Structure 1
Amino acid sequence: MDTRRGRTNRRRFLLIAGLPLLTLGGGMTYLLWPQPYRIPVRTDLEPLNERFRPHLGELTGAHWLGYDVDDEAGGGRSLPSPDSRVRLVGVARLAPGGAAAIVGAPGRTFTSAAPSALPHALDPYLPAAAVWQHSPEFDAYANRETPGARPSGMYLFDTARDLVCFDLLYLHT
């Protein structure tokens, strides 16, 4: 009976001492494990208005991301690439009536469309009930090449909320 009591005491000791050690070890592992790089959602309007004002007018609110597609780690590349690809993606609010004015302009055909696979960080800012409209003619108009950059991508408009959803890739040469 004495040997049985010794085993019970040893098990009790291991349980009491081991559980906190396992918890501490698990917590430290979680803290030290490399986390995926997350790009913060931006709300500043100046960079967007600078790019989009000629095509969209003045933006009054935005949630967007701008990042180098080739820089997966997010730490900044040490050597510049000969062709830097920057993705500019987000949702912005136009001036009242702005989306309806763009969609109703002559010479462009708008049809129903859905946003492409946007980064999950933007999900809270995309209204579930939005009715998005897209026009390849508007994309061609807004994505004109500028000195040093070639944009490509699409713009979607929700006229009920005066929203534009943009997903663009700028190739800087």
Structure 2
Amino acid sequence: MEAQPGRTNRRRFLLIAGLPLLAVGGLTTYAAWPEPNPDKVRVRTDLDPLKSRFGTYVGELTEAHWLGYDMDESPGDRTIPSPDSRIRLVGVARLAAGTAAAIVRNAEYAFTPTVPAAALPAPLEKYLPADAAWQHSPQYDAYVNRPQSDARPSGAYHLDEARDLVHFDLVYLYT
């Protein structure tokens, strides 16, 4: 049985027109799919999530640039999430005037000059002053990182008295 000329031309047209449309649709879907990679996510400036996590311990936050993402999720993960998730909050926030100095001068915490150990994700680097005089205290970290009802936080807080900044790099384990 021979193919009819009109039917062959229609199939050829659908093949030629349909494949590029499918490819464009697939690429658009891939490009729009959210990525957990911290270097490709949008820098957040909203204060409420930070205030609810540690605002009562560091005082009033007036400005922030930060990232929050699930550390265990990879770009290929499209399955049911793990029952245990580790959420990383990392960034820098401005405190009310004089707050950082008041915290650092509290003898109970024994702050010392330091350089934050963890590398900051690339999107946040421009918000961290290169000449900041960071102070750190393991006792203060322990005070702020007390277990919460839904998570166990861990991480470090570095304070700059002159600029009233707090640099935070935290992991919240939700079980």
TM-score, normalised with respect to structure 1: 0.76
- Deviation of 1:169 after TM superposition, in Å, equals 0.4
Structure 2 CA distance for aligned equivalents of residues 135 and 158 of structure 1: 12
Q: Which residue of 2 aligns with 1:132?
A: 134
Q: Which residue of 1 aligns with 2:149?
A: 147
- Deviation of 1:152 after TM superposition, in Å, equals 0.4
Structure 2 CA distance for aligned equivalents of residues 80 and 93 of structure 1: 33
The superposition leaves residues 87-116 of structure 1 with CA deviations (integer Å, 9 ceiling, x where unpaired) of 000000000001001101131111111122
C-alpha distance 94-76 of structure 1, shift in aligned 2 (>3 A): farther
Structure 1 CA distance for aligned equivalents of residues 53 and 87 of structure 2: 14
Aligned-partner residue type, residue 111 of structure 2: F
Is residue 68 of structure 2 the alignment partner of residue 66 of structure 1? yes
Aligned-partner residue type, residue 149 of structure 1: A
Aligned with residue 119 of structure 2, among 117, 120, 135? 117
Structure 1 CA distance for aligned equivalents of residues 127 and 173 of structure 2: 26
Aligned with residue 55 of structure 2, among 53, 56, 61? 53
Structure 2 CA distance for aligned equivalents of residues 60 and 120 of structure 1: 23
C-alpha distance 84-77 of structure 1, shift in aligned 2 (>3 A): farther
Secondary structure at 2:57 match in 1 = helix
Q: Which residue of 2 aligns with 1:169?
A: 171
Structure 2 CA distance for aligned equivalents of residues 161 and 87 of structure 1: 24
| Unaligned residue ranges in structure 2 (runs of 5+) | 1-26
Q: Which residue of 2 aligns with 1:97?
A: 98
Using the aligned pairs only, state the percent identity. 61
Secondary structure at 2:139 match in 1 = helix
Q: Which residue of 1 aligns with 2:159?
A: 157
Structure 1 runs of 4+ aligned residues shifted over 6 Å read none
Q: Which residue of 2 aligns with 1:108?
A: 109
The superposition leaves residues 19-46 of structure 1 with CA deviations (integer Å, 9 ceiling, x where unpaired) of xxxxxxxxxxxxx6x8875111000111
C-alpha distance 102-77 of structure 1, shift in aligned 2 (>3 A): farther
Aligned-partner residue type, residue 80 of structure 2: L
